[in-house]
Structure 1
Amino acid sequence: MKVARTPVSARILKAATIPRNPNVYRKFATAVSISPPSYLSLPPPPVPQPSVNTTSYGTDANEDLFRYTSGRWLYNESQQMAQRYTKFNVVGLHNVIASVCGSPVVAMEKKEGLFNKSLMVTLANGRRVTARIKNPIAGPDHLMTSSEVATMDFARNNLGIPVPKILAWSSKASSNEVGAEFIIMETAPGVQLSTVWRTMDSRQKKNVVNSLAAIEKNMLNAKFSQYGSLYYKEDVPESRRAPRLYAEGARRFGSEDKFCIGPMAHRTFYEDERADMELDRGPWSSPADYLRSLALREEAWISRHAKPNIHDDPFRNVPGPQVQEEHLRALEQYRSIVPALVPSSRKVLASNLWHPDLNPGNVFVSDDDERRVVSIIDWQGCWAGPAYLQMTAPSFLAGTAGDVPSGLDFPELPIGYEDMSAPSQAMSREEHKAKMLYKLYEIKQLYPYRIDNRETRTMAVRAAGRTWKDGILPLRLALLDVCSEWNKLSCADQPCPLRFSREEVNALKRQRDRYLDWHDFLDDLRSTFGMRLYGWVSPTEYPSKRALLDGTRSRLPTALTNEIEAILPQDWWPFRDTVPVAQATA
C-alpha cells in the first residue's frame, strides 16, 4: 500500500493556515490556570440573529442589520468590523422584495457569514425568500456580485445544477434604492447538510457523495475558452472579454450571446491597495499566464505598498522582519519555473467552473431518508480555472485525506484492530468509514484528473500569491521542492533555473523547523483560549476572554517567558492589534 508523499512546502502552508494537534500548550495552559479544551469546544460558527421587524431607515434595530453581530475579535477588531459594515436602505430593500414577490415583508432574520449578510425574509403571504447584502471584504464592487449572479444563472439554466433561482439583483449600489449591492433569491430547499451530517448513516452519506459527484460532472462538461470569471456580456467592457465563451471543439451549452469570460473577480486581486492598481486580472488564454499573474500582482503590490510587520492576523504572521527585496527575488524565481508547473494533459488544463467552498453549510440535502443533494448555495468567488487547480474535495470529506492511501488503494483498518478494546474498535471503524467515503469521492471525481507530482506543481502556485501574509518561507520551500523534483516535471529536458547550495538548503531546514515551532505555539495558544482564526470568539464569550487575556501575560512565570523568548526572539505575544486604527477604518 503506497501512501502519498506530502512535500515539506505543503506541510508548511498547512501549518500557517490550519490548526495543528496540540503538543506543547499544556505547560502554557497550566501556567495561566486554563483548562486545555479540545478542538471540539471551540466557539461555534456564526449563528442566526433574532428576527428583526424593520419599517424605517436608520433606527437602532436597523444598525444591527448593518454591522457584524455574530462574533467579536480579540485583536484588530476595528479593521474586522469595518470590513463587514454595510449600511443600506431597509425600506428600499423591502420595496424591491415586495415588488418582485408580490407580497410585503413582515420579518427579516439575519444570518451572517464572514463575507456577506444573508437576510431570511418572511412575506405576508407566508413565502420565504433570501436577500443577500455584500460586505466590503467580499471582493470588488460590481464585478463580484455580477459574476456571482451570472454564474448561478448559467449553472442553473445551462448546466442543470440545483442552484437557487435569482429573483432580483443589483451590482451598482449607487443606482438602486437599496443603496448596496444585493441579490434576492429563492430560499434553498431541503435541509442544510451541516445540521444532519453527523446523524446520517453510511448509505445516506454515500448518497450525498454520489449525487454531488453527478452534479459536479455536469460542471466539468462545460469547457471555456479562457480562464477568468463568468459574466453577462453587458457587465464587462468588450475589451475585457474573452473572444468566445466555449473552448474550440468543446460541447456547447448555449447562451453564447449572453455570457462571457471576463476578469477575475476574486478578492485576492483587489485586497488593500490592489483594488486601485493596474494589474493583470485576466481573462487569461493559458494556465501559465494565470500563474505568472499571481507573482506579478504581488510584486507590484509589495514594491509600492507592503509595510514591514503589519499583519491582519498575528497568528498567521512569521517571526522576524519581512524584507521586500527577498520577496521580490523569490517571486522572480517562481516566474522562471512556471512552465515546469503546468501539466501536459489537455484534460486537466481545461477551463472549468468549480464551487469554491463546498462546506456542509453550503450544501442542502433532501428532507427524506435518501438525503441527496438538492441545492448548492454561495457561488461567490467561483471562476473558470484550470481543472487541476480547481478540483478539490468538499471540506466535509477532506478532513481524512492526509491518512488515505493514494491511487486506487483502499484504506484498511489499523494494525492490531483485533486486539483493541470495544470503544477503540468502534472509533477505528468510524474513522475507516470516513476514509472510505473520501476514497469513494476521490475515485469517482478526482482520480480521472490526477497529475504527476501534484503537490509540487500546486504548492508553489498557492504560496506565490500569499508571501506577505504567510511569509516568504513557504514559497522558498516550494521552490526547493520544484528544484529537487525538476526531472519529473514538465521541463525535464531543460536545465532548472534554480540553484540551492548545501548551506542554503540547511538554512531553509532550520527556518522550517523554527517556523513549525512558531505555528505550533500559536495554534496551541488559539486552542487554549478557545478562539478561531483572526481571534474570532462568540459575542457572549468576548467579555470573559478579553478579561482573561488582559491579565494573562503578567501572570506568566519568568522562567517560562524566558524559554519562549529564547525560541521566538521578538514581540511574540499575539493577542495585540497589528493594524493601525487609521488603516483599519480607512
Structure 2
Amino acid sequence: MSSLTEDHVSQHPSSQYQPNILILTPGPDLPTFISALTDVGLSRLPPASIASSLRLPSYHGTISEHKVLLEYCRAITKQMIQTTLMQTVSTPILFHPDLNSRNIFVSEEDPTVLTAILDWQSSAIQPAFWYADSTPDFARKEEVEVVAKDDRQGEAGDQGQEQKQKQDQSEYTPSSTLRAEEAFDHLIHSHLPRAMLIPLTMDEAYLRPFTYGHRSWLHGAAPFREELIQTSRRWGELGFSTVGPCAYPMPSREEYAAHWEKYKEFEARHTMKMEMQRILGVESGGWVWADMYDVTNQAQKEWFEEAIKGAVGERGERVWVSEDGERLTEAEIRDTWPFDLED
C-alpha cells in the first residue's frame, strides 16, 4: 500500500510493481512514436514470477491478456494515424506537462512576476494531442478543500471543524478561480499553436487508445479493453473507416457480458479513489501540502472507518455503496484504499 508521508500523500497504484519511468520523444516519425507507446506498455509488464506473487483484483488481467490487448492497440493506433485529422494534431511540441501551482514560483513583492518553474524532468517533445487534457490546477473550475470529519474536542477537533467549514464554503466557486480559468483559456488560445488547440475540442474517443495503452498494467486489462471496444464501436462514426475496418474485433454478447462484470468492479474501485481524492483535497499525483498532513491523515482514517461501516450486502457482508450505486465489499475496500492502514 502507498504511504501517507509528511511531504506528500502517495496514491495506491493498481499493483505493487513499479518499473522505471520511460520518457518518449517522437523520434524520426509518428509511426515510430506510436509503436514505441506499445513497447513501453510491454516493458512495464512484470516478470511472471513477480506477477504471480501480487494480489491483484480480477479486472487487472494476466500478463498474456495485456500482451494481446497491447498488440491490438499497436495495430489500431497505426491505422488511426493514417487519417488527416490525427496527422494534423500530431505536430511535435515541447511542453511542460505539470504546470500546477506547486511548481510555479512568483515574487513575494509582486505576484505577477514569475521567478521559477520547477519539475522539468517530465518535459519532452511529443505529439500535440498528448497534452489535450492537461489543465493546471489553478485553472480548474472545481475548488477542492480537505474535509476532516473529526469534531471532537481539542486541537484535532478544531482542525476538523475548520476544514469542514472550508468545504462548505467551497461549494461556491470563488471569483478568483473563475478569473484564473478565463485567463488561462485566453492564454492558450492566444499563444499556443493551432496544432495544440484542435485536440482540446476533440472527442476523447480519438485519443484514448494512444493515452491509455502504455499504462495498461497500472490500470488493468478491463478498463483498457473497454477503451478498445468503444473505439471499435465508433470506428465509422469517428471517420476511421477510410483506412479499413478496425483491427480490434467487437466481442460477442457473451464475451462482453464477462468483460462488463470485471469493468464494473474497476469502476467501483476507481470511483471510491476519486471520491477520496476530492474529499481529502489530494491531487491526482497524490500530493498534499506538508502543513495539511496531520488533518489529511486524520481525515483519511475517519473516512475509512465510515466506509467500512457502510451498508449490508445481500450475503450479510459490509459493503460500500457510491452515489451511483456501485458497491465494494469490506475486503475490496481494504485492497483499494489509497493509504496505509494500521493493523
- Is the TM-score greater than 0.5? yes
Q: Which amino acid aligns with 1:290?
A: F
- Kindly provide the CA deviation profile for residues 412-434 of structure 1, in whole angstroms up to 9, marking residues without a partner as x: xxxxxxxxxxx999858666545
For normalisation by structure 2, the TM-score amounts to 0.63
**Among 307, 317, 326, the residue aligned to 1:562:** 317
- Distance across 1 between alignment mates of 2:287 and 2:174: 33
Residue in structure 2 matched with residue 522 of structure 1 by the alignment: 273
Deviation for aligned residue 1:508 = 4.8
Q: Which one of 480, 489, 493 corresponds to residue 229 of structure 2?
A: 480
C-alpha contact 2:94 2:126 (8 A) present in aligned 1? yes
Query: Which residue is equivalent to 1:574?
Result: 335
- Partner of residue 130, structure 2: 389
Give the aligned partner of residue 51 of structure 2.
307
3-state SS of 1:385 partner: strand
Q: Name the SS of the counterpart of 2:89 in structure 1.
A: helix
Structure 1 gaps, min length 5: 1-42, 47-68, 81-136, 140-266, 271-280, 312-316, 402-422, 580-586
State the match for 1:461 in structure 2. Answer: 210
- CA distance in 2 between counterparts of 1:558 and 1:444 reads 51
Out of 268, 274, 281, the residue aligned to residue 21 of structure 2 is 268
Asked if the contact 1:354/1:382 (under 8 Å) is kept, the reply is yes
Aligned sequence identity (%): 17
Letter in 1 for 2:247: P
Aligned twin of 2:32? 289
Q: Which residue of 2 aligns with 1:155?
A: none
Alignment of 1:70 onto 2:2: no
1:413-428 superposed matches below 5 A: 427=173
Please state how far the C-alpha of 1:524 moved relative to its aligned partner: 3.8
Secondary structure of 1:571's counterpart equals helix
How many angstroms does 1:495 deviate by? 1.9
Question: Counterparts of 2:107 and 2:78 in 1: how far apart (Å)?
Answer: 45
Task: Give the partner amino acid of 1:521.
Answer: M
Provide the secondary structure at the position in 2 that maps to 1:352.
strand
Q: Is the 8 A contact 2:138 2:177 kept in 1?
A: no
| 8 A contact 1:308–1:323 mirrored in 2 | no
Residue of structure 2 equivalent to 1:146: none
Check 1:454–1:377 CA distance in 2 against 1; reply closer, same or farther (3 A cut): same
Larger CA Rg, structure 1 vs 2: 1
Q: Structure 1 535/309 Cα, relative in aligned 2: closer, same or farther at 3 Å?
A: farther
* Cα deviation digits, residues 303-341 of structure 1 (max 9, x gap): 735615738xxxxx7555521222111111101111233
Aligned residues: 290
Deviation string 1:98-134 (CA, Å, 9 cap, x unpaired) is xxxxxxxxxxxxxxxxxxxxxxxxxxxxxxxxxxxxx
Give the structure 2 partner of residue 344 of structure 1.
84
Q: Deviations over 1:128-180 (max 9, x none)?
A: xxxxxxxxx9x9xxxxxxxxxxxxxxxxxxxxxxxxxxxxxxxxxxxxxxxxx
CA–CA distance in 2 between the matches of 1:436 and 1:543?
30
Task: Say if 1:334 and 1:460, in contact at 8 Å, map to a contact too.
Answer: yes
Q: Tell me which residue corresponds to 1:439.
A: 185
Q: TM-score, normalised by structure 1?
A: 0.40
**Superposition RMSD on alpha carbons, in Å?**
4.9
Shift of 1:484: 2.8
Aligned residues of 1:309 and 1:321 also touching (Cα < 8 A): no
1: CA distance, partners of 2:209 / 2:98: 21
Distance in 2, Cα, partners of 1:364 & 1:546 = 29
